[in-house]
A and B are shown apart, each in its own frame.
Chain A
Amino acid sequence: MSRPVRLAMFGLAGGVTAVLLVLAAFALPGFGGSRHPYRDAAVPAAVRHATPNVISSINFDLRGLDTLGEETILLASVVGVVVLLRPAADERVREPRIGGRLLDGTRLFGYLFLPITTTIGLLTVAHGALTPGGGFQGGVVIGTGLHLLYVAGSYRALKRVRHLEVFEYGEALGAGAFACFGVATGLVSGAFLANVLPLGSFGDLFSSGSVLLLNCSVGIEVASGVMVLLAQFLAQDIEVEQAEGAKR
């Protein structure tokens, strides 16, 4: 399809979609109004399960099955990236070059914030049921925060500390633990991912039953996933090169 034809087709289809979406927007309840039926159902349900963070309660308790699906998309994407970016037959892995200059300020900032960022990430995961945050957010903070070691140190320093197999197992473990927990609760209570654990008292760190556990398993999975993903892209840029004499 040539470019002008494609643009014309998009003009037509996009115009129709725009009209329909604008009409739909005018039929929605007004912005900022007080009509939220899902909220009215979700907030009391979360409070019954002793989970102050209603968003975490929805993700890991009320609609845990959706999160299992999303987690599987995440796992599949990570596996896809690993498969796509592995060195091909006509490529080889070289030793990363040493060198490059680093500002002292960058190094200081990086090493100062490495422990702080990782701790904040762990806290975000652990308090997912109480305060804003949870496994998804904390996992991303941990996974990217560990790369301060690359920014402030070197690729070699990152490789020495980051054992990729650990994170590959962590990725599988996080996803597997979520699914196994779902099956176990299904056997015990008859409902997949039902909150069968002791609920504790509202607002305590060890409360909200299974939300805490599932938060941690998602945190492990997301942190490991981010580590594995970034490792593939970094290796592609720094380590993988065309083998000599290979034809594209």
Chain B
Amino acid sequence: MTVYPYLVAVFVFLVGAFGIVRSRNLIHAVVCLSVAQAGTYLLLVAVGFQWKAPPPVFGSPPTKPTLKVTDPLVQAMALTDVVVSGTVTALLLAIAVQVAKRQDMSDPNELAALRG
């Protein structure tokens, strides 16, 4: 049982990658990339988890700092990841919008050449 969350993370990541490979729509491909990224968040947060340990925040309500908390490092990484992945998803969607407008299609399989 102690590897179960890691296996879920691996599964989510691979399902996302599989979705990108068999995608017939650029928006679908971008969403699949987000799914694959969700796998990495799951792995990060699972690595930092500890049973019966509170979150690593001692300010509300004020508590005495203790070492028995979940790992803050991986949580900080997951947090910045989420925001950055949001903006990168926006960038990819903007590219999809332009492809749909310029080439009049949204299937990545038909993307043969670059065109202005």
Contact = CB atoms under 8 A, between A and B. Distances in A.
Interface string B67-106: 1111111111001101110111011011101100110100
Contacts of B90: 77-78, 81, 229, 233
Interface in A86-140: 88, 127, 129-132, 134, 136-137, 139-140
Nearest to A36: B71
B10 A18 contact: yes
A14 to B, nearest CB: 6
A34 B88 CA distance: 35
A248 to B, nearest CB: 6
A63 B21 contact: no
B17 to A, nearest CB: 6
A25 B7 contact: yes
Interface in A1-45: 3, 6-7, 10, 14, 17-18, 21-22, 25-26, 28, 30-34, 36, 38-40, 42-44
A84 B95 contact: yes
A22 B27 CA distance: 29
A28 B62 contact: no
Nearest to A33: B50
A30 B50 contact: no
A36 B4 contact: no
Nearest to B20: A10
A70 B79 CA distance: 11
Contacts of A59: 76, 79-80
A74 B72 contact: no
A185 interface: no
B80 A67 contact: yes
A92 to B, nearest CB: 14
A198 interface: no
B54 to A, nearest CB: 11
Nearest to A242: B101
Nearest to B96: A84
Interface stretch (A48-56, A146-154, A157-165): A48-56
B6 A137 contact: no
B3 A30 contact: yes
Nearest to A70: B80
Given A10-B21, A30-B3, A58 B87 contact: no
A203 interface: yes
A242 to B, nearest CB: 8
Given A52-B60, A80-B91, 7 more contacts: A3-B109, A33-B2, A39-B56, A39-B71, A127-B59, A132-B55, A140-B83
Interface of B: 1-7, 9-10, 13-14, 17-18, 21-22, 46-51, 55-60, 62, 65-76, 79-80, 82-84, 86-88, 90-91, 93-95, 97-98, 101-102, 104, 109
15 contacts: A18-B14, A31-B5, A32-B49, A36-B70, A39-B67, A52-B62, A53-B59, A63-B76, A73-B88, A77-B84, A77-B87, A78-B87, A132-B55, A229-B87, A233-B93
Interface of A: 3, 6-7, 10, 14, 17-18, 21-22, 25-26, 28, 30-34, 36, 38-40, 42-44, 46-47, 52-55, 57-59, 63, 66-67, 70, 73-74, 77-78, 80-81, 84-85, 88, 127, 129-132, 134, 136-137, 139-140, 203, 222, 225, 229, 232-233, 236, 248
